[in-house]
Amino acid sequence: MIKIAPSILSADFANLERDIHRISAADYVHVDVMDGMFVPNISIGIPVVKSIRPTTSLPLDVHLMIEQPVRYVEQFCDAGADLVTCHVEADTEENLRAALEKIRAKGKKPGIVLKPKTPASAVLPFIDMVDIILVMTVEPGFGGQKFMADMMPKVQTIRGYIDAMNPGCELEVDGGVDPATAPICIANGANVLVAGSSVYQAEDIPARIAQLRG
Ligand code: DX5
Ligand code: ZN
């Protein structure tokens, strides 16, 4: 089954509860956390996750674009995150393992994320520890960028790793996903699609979510 995770980075932050209700036909709420260091932008953090938690029954898919996520993963779990993904570029292997273990110990789903320049093989040290792997299809930091179709071989390679080594693991893509690029992601093995601008700019949001799901 294909899951859709609208990114609230494209929502109206002055009307966040309304905009979360508008995506109730989706599968996850994707929450982009940026620290101004790991990526050249600052977005939202722990208090916002805590505030939106009671507004929806959908799982919160928290994408941490922060340096050394091990410092904060437990606080995001306590604030109500259900899935917490950490970039492999954001710390040492040892500290990333510790972050994933902390998320698991909180009863939540740990995941890892790869930036576009990071090879598929970077997932291998963590593949047996994660419930989700996220492949960026844009450089992280901003919504509304162009989909990088050249990430598809990486998605295919990671689909192969997952099928062989951790078949329950989800494979998510993030960046530039719209009705034209979603089928490409699905054909290459992704099963969770993040979409910010293409969902929030749609006239009919439930119809757009259904269209992306295919
Ligand atoms: C980018 C974020 C994405 C972003 C996607 O750093 O991780 O989740 O919101 O936005 P669109 O779908 O507009 O590319
Ligand atoms: Zn994201």
Q: What is the mean pLDDT of the chain?
A: 98
Taking residues 152-178, report their average pLDDT. 99
Tokens of 53: 């938690």
Number of residues written out for the chain = 214
Residues 172, 155: Cα–Cα separation, whole Å: 9
C-beta of 144 in contact with ligand 1 (< 6 A): yes
C-beta of 115 in contact with ligand 1 (< 6 A): no
Q: 127: pLDDT confidence band, cut at 50, 70 and 90?
A: very high
Residues 41, 154: Cα–Cα separation, whole Å: 26
Q: How far is the CA of 31 from the centre of ligand 2 (A)?
A: 7
Taking residues 90-112, report their average pLDDT. 99
Distance from chain centroid for Cα 174: 6
Residues 39, 116: Cα–Cα separation, whole Å: 13
Distance from chain centroid for Cα 182: 15
C-beta of 176 in contact with ligand 1 (< 6 A): yes
Q: How far is the CA of 53 from the centre of ligand 2 (A)?
A: 18
Tokens of 83: 């899935």
Ligand lying closest to the C-alpha of residue 138:
1
C-beta of 130 in contact with ligand 1 (< 6 A): no
Q: How far is the CA of 167 from the centre of ligand 1 (A)?
A: 26
Q: Which helix (H) or strand (E) holds 211?
A: helix 205-213
Taking residues 41-58, report their average pLDDT. 98
pLDDT for position 163: 98
CB atoms within 5 A of ion ligand 2 belong to 32, 63, 174
Active-site positions read: 32, 174
pLDDT for position 36: 98
Q: How far is the CA of 87 from the centre of ligand 2 (A)?
A: 11
pLDDT for position 150: 98
pLDDT for position 159: 99
For ligand 1, what atom is nearest to the CA of residue 30?
8
pLDDT for position 180: 98
Taking residues 101-118, report their average pLDDT. 99
Coil, strand or helix at 62 = strand
Taking residues 92-104, report their average pLDDT. 98
C-beta of 145 in contact with ligand 1 (< 6 A): yes
